[in-house]
Structure 1
């Protein structure tokens, strides 16, 4: 039997505003004196320190760790899958009219490659019927269309929408599509607007960068001009729809200049007031991992610093990069409200924070009818497949995907970043043993990322930013941050 750890379950860190400890059991960050920090770090003469005695008195510095790895939702899976599947994504085609260099289906990842496989209406109907028959507890339904390039199957998409409208009268239905933007015109555009589709357009920045990565299939011609023409048309003729229903997603290669891409979006009129999401070229499942240049890192950190300064009123928001704004939102999401709603102690049975409930956020149906937790997972990994549209969801497989911590539980339970770990089945490149190696290989980077978030959080709060109201306080608080 493993010896029980009697040391306080904490993580110590320091930054420009002082010394801090993260108390894992209560999920709290506390500012401490240099003497307290040093004693806890060295584990020497701890009881002689008055601040440490007070911290223990008020419930901090507990030694408790999770003992049994089990996601708290595990026993609810049968009921959830029977009544609460409200989001479905149909892979209507595995074909695309572009050949993007960093696409997960480009052959550079441990997943499928582009093929001529397309979803039949019969298969799509099975998927939609599954959604309809397993969503009794959902007031709203979401249907997404994914590829390849889903608009290559526009007629199928229309049939799916028409079918849903005949089958559902008492629920609101929202339609979503992720597209490269080259086909957003004419009848297709009119229909998507009429049905109030939420449209995500892939767009990577200046012409020379976008065209370097997003070329039409079978040619060296880039797609920049076509996408820009279509996007400008939407904004000019359907401005309200453009603002409310169109999002741009930018895939950033670390081989490019981060500042160049950010400055382009900031200066291009089309993108003023547009909603952006962005991220680096996907690393999970990539055969050759990305390398990030020093220049890229410096430019990224500088732009992120400017965003933090904007939260403190030192820089106007319009002078910051649109690409990094979601990083600040991520910081708010991770720590916002935590100090007002502390836990008391880690439960004996629990699971780290990584996996969502497989298939609940967006059940992914492939062209051939296989079911996956979402569109981000590798389709060539049997471990990630949670069933088939004909036989339904395999509860045992779904439970294994949800409880991914089982693979690395020995290491996870003693990790200070346990609550913030984001590892899930999307990290699966091959099968179980390789997945364990992959997860553990990425642990150090994950902890480093979380510590950076903690430091940014502490500095912003110390300088007067209130995460709950998204505004500056008149004064700063002492002690707990």
Structure 2
């Protein structure tokens, strides 16, 4: 069992090499098997007894360079905690309005389908007065933000197109001097020339939900009468391409991947289907955080096909396969590794006394989700039925005590987080601790093993890519 006087590290291997992730410096050390075994024994027993002189010298050299330190965080505290009032008063970055909770579809995996805790379809719509108050609140609290970003969300937001028009026109009149960006996510069944013309006029980025070819899309994305929505969506996409060709660069698709479907069919659709393949597409798996009965287990064949596409992706990154053969579906997989292991993993010499695991954004600042009734939430992913996630309202403003609690969700599991080697890569925010309106230690801990497994896999695959350029030195610092 690890103790607090031994190196705070994590061990992992690829088929080719041995690695040690050093928590305090954030470095990855490639070492030979003797060094790897000796440091592992040191961590397990508290004693460094090397029978190999070369190994002992290498370990001493690594320690002199500042690695293999035993230091742990003394306190769990989000770095934004002390300046939280300032951030909320001046630095809001995005406002998302739930213009309606109504929808003209009944998608099987929708969070309002009845298969998720406490959330159901309703006919609640946002009033223009509530929308204006939300916009005014955002403008007032974003004086240090260069660009104002607005999102329109549902339900199906185009059921409230007149409201969206009025809100955008209100924003344009009341935010002079600020650059603005608009985003709208839609099932695309209600699109027409009038709507697209307006969206084009104001450069609204349009995300269209489509899950693949007709036989796959229509399994989940159905209308109230249980008929499929694919044909309607395709006709509207054709209308955009034919009558608004210059608007195409503002349109993208989002596919929700149901692992019970055939991966190859979905991949073929987004790669070769005329009228679809020219647009950017993003892919996400079904959100399960509030699900009641999970019927979306990943099928073995689906996993095999997905892993094979990841393999092809890696081959393209080392120049052994043309990028045109890489599935769009797995492109984000590499971006996640790049983001975690390259862009946001600075190797440092300092050791902070205070820290917080990754995951929590500054709720209300990075994004403020305002539901149809005017209540505040950190984002659209959390349940607006959860009292734990409610961070204020149009009438009362921000509840800073609640926000402080959410960004410091690591304090809920403080002792575990202080000793977790994967803390800096953790993606758990308060959403993963929300248990029917209460922040639960058990629920948060349920996801911890998954985080560590995912992070270790990312470490391994990052190192696999790097190995193509390694020389044969015994020690290599990444």
TM-score tier, shorter chain, comes to over 0.9
Alpha-carbon RMSD across the aligned residues, in angstroms, is 1.7
Residue 235 of structure 1 deviates from its aligned partner by 2.4
Residue 338 of structure 1 deviates from its aligned partner by 6.0
Structure 1 distance, partners of 2:427, 2:66, is 27
Superposition map of 1:193-208 within 5 A: 193-208=200-215
Residue among 105, 111, 116 paired with 1:104: 111
Quick check: 1:384–1:428 contact (8 Å CA) kept in 2?
no
Structure 2 distance, partners of 1:199, 1:413, is 42
Q: Which residue of 2 aligns with 1:351?
A: 356
Q: Which residue of 2 aligns with 1:46?
A: 48
Residue 75 of structure 1 deviates from its aligned partner by 1.1
Superposition map of 1:30-69 within 5 A: 30-43=29-42, 46=48, 48=50, 49-69=56-76
Quick check: 1:211–1:223 contact (8 Å CA) kept in 2?
yes
Structure 2 distance, partners of 1:199, 1:476, is 47
Q: TM-score under structure 2 normalisation?
A: 0.94
Superposition map of 1:51-450 within 5 A: 51-217=58-224, 219-242=225-248, 244-289=249-294, 290-337=296-343, 341-431=346-436, 435-450=440-455
Residue 241 of structure 1 deviates from its aligned partner by 2.1
Q: Which residue of 1 aligns with 2:457?
A: 452
Quick check: 2:117–2:436 contact (8 Å CA) kept in 1?
no
Residue 428 of structure 1 deviates from its aligned partner by 4.0
Deviates more, 1:278-287 or 1:432-441: 432-441
Deviates more, 1:94-103 or 1:106-115: 106-115
**Other structure's SS at 2:252 match:** strand
Quick check: 1:250–1:277 contact (8 Å CA) kept in 2?
yes
Quick check: 2:435–2:443 contact (8 Å CA) kept in 1?
no
Residue 476 of structure 1 deviates from its aligned partner by 5.3
Q: For each residue in 1:387-411, what CA deviation from the matched residue of structure 2 results, as whole angstroms up to 9, or x when unmatched?
A: 1111100111100010011111121
Residues matched between the structures, number:
466
Quick check: 2:41–2:48 contact (8 Å CA) kept in 1?
no
Quick check: 2:359–2:427 contact (8 Å CA) kept in 1?
yes
Structure 2 distance, partners of 1:142, 1:389, is 18
Quick check: 1:285–1:427 contact (8 Å CA) kept in 2?
no
> Do residues 24 (structure 1) and 23 (structure 2) align?
yes
Q: Which residue of 1 aligns with 2:53?
A: none
Quick check: 2:387–2:438 contact (8 Å CA) kept in 1?
no
Quick check: 1:254–1:291 contact (8 Å CA) kept in 2?
yes
Structure 1 distance, partners of 2:125, 2:266, is 34
Residue 344 of structure 1 deviates from its aligned partner by 2.0
Name structure 1 gaps, 5 residues minimum.
465-474
Structure 2 distance, partners of 1:179, 1:387, is 27
**Other structure's SS at 2:114 match:** coil
Q: TM-score under structure 1 normalisation?
A: 0.93
Quick check: 2:388–2:438 contact (8 Å CA) kept in 1?
no
Residue 430 of structure 1 deviates from its aligned partner by 2.2
Structure 2 distance, partners of 1:325, 1:155, is 37
Structure 1 distance, partners of 2:334, 2:63, is 33
**Other structure's SS at 1:409 match:** helix
**Other structure's SS at 2:222 match:** strand
Residue 431 of structure 1 deviates from its aligned partner by 4.8
**Other structure's SS at 1:259 match:** helix
**Other structure's SS at 2:203 match:** coil
Structure 2 distance, partners of 1:26, 1:138, is 32
Structure 1 distance, partners of 2:118, 2:311, is 36
Quick check: 1:27–1:338 contact (8 Å CA) kept in 2?
no
Q: For each residue in 1:180-201, what CA deviation from the matched residue of structure 2 results, as whole angstroms up to 9, or x when unmatched?
A: 1111222111111111101111
Name structure 2 gaps, 5 residues minimum.
51-55
Residue 432 of structure 1 deviates from its aligned partner by 7.0
Structure 1 distance, partners of 2:436, 2:110, is 22
